Amino acid sequence: MDIKDICNAGGDILDAVADAVNRNDYSGLSENVMHTVNRVARQVRQEAVKGSYGNPTHQYAKTFYTKKGQAEYNYSQYLHKRDEKKEKTTLPASVAKNPTGRILGPIQLAWGILATSGFGITALFMTILSFSQGGMGYVAFAVVFTLLTALGITDIVRGSRKIGLVNRFYHYARLIGERGYIAIEELAIQTGRHKDDVLRDLRKMMKKHMFPQGRLDQKQTTFMLTQDVYRQYLQIEQDRAREAQQAREAARAADDGQTDRERASHRYDAQTKKILEDGNAYIRMVHECNEKIRGQEMRYKLSRLESIMRRIFEQVEKVPESADDLNKFMNYYLPTTTKLLHAYIDLDRQQIAGENITATKKEIEDTLDTINIAFEKLLDGLFEDTAWDISSDISVMKTMMAQEGLTGEKDFKL
């Protein structure tokens, strides 16, 4: 065995490292390295016994000149494809442009590969010398360089993990896009990872400020990218909590024989009472439809619709005169919305979603955005008389104060 054989054995170690990087699997890396070291050590002992140590052998030559070159080529191709993928990635505005690990990861990986190959070859050389020449000095050096090789392998693993996390960050950000939120289940399906792994990734990314404004909901089922979306989520949760509290209070009142709503209904005429009863039935229908739908985005839109409808009928309950403005809302908009929701549920139940089913569901989802905007404008319109009354009261008060000379204005004229 000569120096070329030692270099060839070192090439085998480098091949094992490069192959582990390409496959992103380090479970057998340590075993492969130790197998190569033990194999060379056994050969040294055999040649030392036979007295043939130092004769040239080329059993590693083919491996060194073929596998190593192929491994280097594959790794360079991997880096090239990775860079191309990053260039094509369009990130939302609210994510980190230079995520943690984007630079340190490749540097740590490169250093780990260099350290593993350099220290590994040196450790192998010292091991061979310790068997052939003897002496504790060679043994000590072999142990030291073996430890340094282990540290190099550790850097390879850490660097690869950093690179993997950054790559998944870009993938997650691209999937979220400009929506501002995404279901954890959808991320898991799109990336082929388990939901627990996706959640673990997102927590790491938030901790490293890759998603500076990122938030998870209470049930850990939805990831929200911005503070605006998170505030909307909190508003919906507050509405649900308030509705639950109102339901509990209504249940307590029912135990006394009459609910608050029943007592208040005596103040309304028959038309207003019917509008409130029908309105509550529509609210219950929307809530039931929301429970049957699987898509997180559609559920979010329906929760928003339910909240708007509830506030509309609460305003009618406070101001019964506003019921006259809801004729078209009750006779056309709500029945049509009901029809669309039932159609969406039927389509959502289909096991195989063809082109027509997918397109129809998308059209209904977009229409629901328009419905929410229209209902919000209707809700705002119900406050028009209130705003006018307040404005009139303010104007009258200012006039009276001016007449009394309380405002400091002079030469007041009616």
Looking at the predicted structure, is the pLDDT value of residue 4 above 80?
Answer: no
Helix (H) or strand (E) holding 183: strand 181-183
Query: Long-range contact list for 234-239, CB < 8 A, 24+ apart?
Result: 235/307, 236/300, 236/303, 236/304, 236/307, 239/307, 239/310
Residue with the larger pLDDT of the pair 58 and 409: 409
- Which comes out higher in pLDDT, residue 272 or 3? 272
pTM for this predicted structure: 0.41
Do 184 and 220 form a contact (C-beta atoms < 8 A)?
yes
Query: Do 300 and 319 touch, CB atoms closer than 8 A?
Result: no
Asked whether residue 21 carries a pLDDT value surpassing 60, the answer given is no
Distance (Å, whole) CA 161 – CA 402: 74
| pLDDT at residue 322, as a whole number | 74
Angstrom distance (rounded) from CA 83 to CA 85: 5
pLDDT, tens digit, 9 for 90 and up, residues 160-217: 888 989 888 888 888 888 778 888 898 899 889 899 999 999 999 989 888 888 889 8
Q: What is the per-residue DSSP string for 351-392?
A: SS--HHHHHHHHHHHHHHHHHHHHHHHHHHHHTHHHHHHHHH
Q: Looking at the predicted structure, is the pLDDT value of residue 130 above 80?
A: no
More confident residue, 23 or 128: 128
d(CA 133, CA 126): 10
Q: Which of 144, 155, 142 is nearest to 114 (CA)?
A: 155
376-386 tens-digit pLDDT? 888 887 776 55
Confidence of residue 62 (pLDDT cuts 50, 70, 90): very low
- What pLDDT is attached to residue 247? 84
User: What is the residue type of 147?
Assistant: L
Secondary structure (3-state) at 320: helix
pLDDT in tens, 88-107: 456 677 787 788 888 888 88
In the predicted structure, residue 138 carries a pLDDT above the cut 60: yes
Residue 52 has pLDDT above 60, yes or no: no
Tens digit of each residue's pLDDT (9 = 90 or more) over 334-390? 888 889 888 988 888 887 778 888 889 889 989 888 988 988 888 887 776 555 566
Query: What pLDDT, on the 0 to 100 scale, is given for residue 64?
Result: 38
Question: Mean of the pLDDT values across residues 102-119?
Answer: 84
Most confident of 100-104, 130-134, 146-150: 146-150
Contacts of 205 (CB under 8 A, 6+ apart): 99, 165, 169, 172, 211, 214
d(CA 269, CA 377): 26
CA-to-CA distance for 156 and 164, rounded, in angstroms? 12
Per-residue model confidence (pLDDT) at position 144: 86
The more confidently predicted of residues 245 and 59 is 245
Considering the chain, what is the average pLDDT of its residues? 75
Q: Which two tokens stand for residue 407?
A: 């405002």
Check residue 199 and give its pLDDT. Answer: 92
